[in-house]
Amino acid sequence: MSAPGPRDESPDRLYTVTGGRTRAGDDTPFDLVTLVVTESEPVPGMQSEHRTILRLCRRPTAVVEVAAELGLPVSIVRILLADLLATGRISARHPRTSRHPGTHGLPDPDLLEQVLVGLRNL
C-alpha cells in the first residue's frame, strides 16, 4: 500500500491528483461524515489514490477518515470520491441530520434519543 504523502503537499501534486480540478461540483454530496462503501474492487491501471480509497472503504469509512488516511485535504478527497461515485465503484451513506444544509433546524428528537442512549452506554 502506498504511504500517505507528506503533509506539506505541494500544490502541483494536488493539482495532478485531481487532474487539474480544484473543487468538486457545487452540489457535491459528500459531508465530512458521509460513510463511503466500496462497491467494486480496484482494477489495474487505476489511479493510486482511487485504489487506496477502494481498499479503505471495504467497510463503511467516513470521508474525513479517508482524508486522514490519504494525507490529503478534505476538498481534494471529495473530488476523488465524486469520480468513484460517478462510475459506481463506491456508494455513499449520507448523514440523516444534514438533510437541509445551510439551515439550522434541530435534529429529529428520535435521533437525539438514540445518540443519548449510545453515549450513556459507553
- Applying CB under 8 A, the span of 40-48, 81-89, 113-121 interacting with another protein comes to 113-121
What 3 state SS string does the chain have? CCCCCCCCCCHHHHHHHCCCCCCCCCCCCCCCCCEEEECCCCCCCCCHHHHHHHHHCCCCEEHHHHHHHHCCCHHHHHHHHHHHHHCCCEEEECCHHHCCCCCCCCCCHHHHHHHHHHHHCC
Q: Does 38 bind another protein (CB under 8 A)?
A: no
Closest approach, Cβ 70 to another protein, in A, equals 9
Q: Where are the beta strands (DSSP E) in 1-122?
A: 35-38, 61-62, 90-93
12 near another protein, rule: CB under 8 A: no
C-alpha cell at 76: 481534494
Least distance (Å) from another protein to the CB of residue 20?
13
Nearer to another protein, 45 or 117 (CB): 117
Size of the site for another protein (CB under 8 A): 44
Q: Looking at 39-47, 82-90, 107-115, which segment touches another protein (CB under 8 A)? A: 107-115
Single out the residue of 5, 15, 32, 47 in contact with another protein (rule: CB under 8 A): 32
| Piece of the chain touching another protein by CB under 8 A; list 43-51, 59-67, 82-90 | 59-67
